[in-house]
């Protein structure tokens, strides 16, 4: 059984998407734990309702030691770390110990509207302001940079002239709930290879549910 840890900072809607896909049989995985860098977020309640072990590691308490503590929790216990709306930056040994085994979902089509300071509603505000006609989400590997790791897959949505950031955010979120489970499925089935910092996927046509 493929084992994952999910890291969150908020409502956990992408966590819920993973839980739903596991319960439906689409994913042959277990969520071994959910780690939040904030207390009292709804994502923790989602995990607890499904009997998933939770950890709360508040950023203000751990400061620079957060990644080290997370590494101690997951080392030897999971095959993949999934950042699902996790706002803290991982660094240090965990990036080496889980090389190409940490993924993140970002609410834009990387390399647009990403990098330091680009998260949450800020991403959609920038997209609307820019006048782009297409946006979406990206699942990518996590490396030492910010949103710089190899791209696994992307989903697109139209951007309408009438959109504000909140309207675009909701449209993109629907695609996040598709993209993240698809990426986990590909990885759990060993269908992802990284060649020259690009992702090669075998059997792409079989990933849709």
Q: Does residue 192 contact residue 101 with C-beta atoms inside 8 Å?
A: no
Which tens digits make up the pLDDT trace of 78-113? 999 999 999 999 999 999 999 999 999 999 999 999
Active site residue 106: yes
Q: Is the pLDDT of residue 35 over 70?
A: yes
Domain presence at residue 125 = no
Residue 141 tokens, joined: 């590997």
Q: Is the pLDDT of residue 206 over 70?
A: no
Domain presence at residue 164 = no
Residue 112 is part of which domain span? 2-117+136-153+170-206
Residue 41 tokens, joined: 């977020």
CATH code for the domain in which residue 177 is found: 3.40.50.170
Which tens digits make up the pLDDT trace of 183-204? 999 999 999 999 999 999 997 6
Domain presence at residue 161 = no
Q: Decide: residue 85, CB within 10 A, 0-12 exposed, 13-18 middle, 19+ buried.
A: buried
Q: Which one is catalytic: 50, 106, 124, 196?
A: 106
| Cα within 13 Å of Cα(104), Cβ side | 26
Give residue 209's pLDDT: 52
Q: Is the pLDDT of residue 207 over 80?
A: no
Domain presence at residue 128 = no
Domain presence at residue 39 = yes
Distance of CA 5 to the CA centre of its chain: 11
Q: Is the pLDDT of residue 208 over 90?
A: no
Give residue 61's pLDDT: 86
Which tens digits make up the pLDDT trace of 36-71? 999 999 999 999 999 999 999 998 888 779 999 999
Give residue 63's pLDDT: 72
Domain count, the chain: 1
């Amino acid at each position: 059984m493929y084992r994952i840890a999910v890291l969150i900072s908020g409502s956990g809607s992408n966590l819920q998407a993973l839980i739903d896909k596991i319960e439906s049989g689409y994913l042959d995985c277990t969520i071994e734990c959910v780690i939040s860098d904030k207390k009292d977020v709804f994502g923790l309640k989602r995990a607890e309702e499904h009997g998933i072990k939770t950890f709360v590691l508040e950023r203000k308490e751990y400061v620079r030691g957060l990644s080290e503590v997370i590494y101690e929790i997951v080392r030897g216990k999971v095959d993949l770390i999934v950042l699902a709306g996790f706002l803290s930056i991982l660094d240090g040994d965990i990036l080496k110990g889980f090389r190409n085994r940490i993924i993140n979902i970002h609410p834009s089509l990387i390399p647009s509207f990403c990098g330091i300071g680009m998260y949450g509603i800020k991403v959609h505000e920038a997209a609307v302001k820019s006048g782009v006609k297409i946006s979406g989400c990206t699942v990518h590997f996590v490396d030492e940079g910010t949103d710089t790791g190899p791209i696994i897959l992307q989903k697109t949505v139209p951007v309408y002239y009438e959109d504000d950031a909140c309207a675009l955010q909701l449209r993109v979120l629907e695609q996040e709930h598709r993209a993240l489970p698809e990426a986990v499925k590909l990885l759990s089935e060993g269908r992802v290879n990284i060649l020259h910092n690009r992702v090669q996927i075998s059997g792409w046509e079989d990933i849709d549910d």
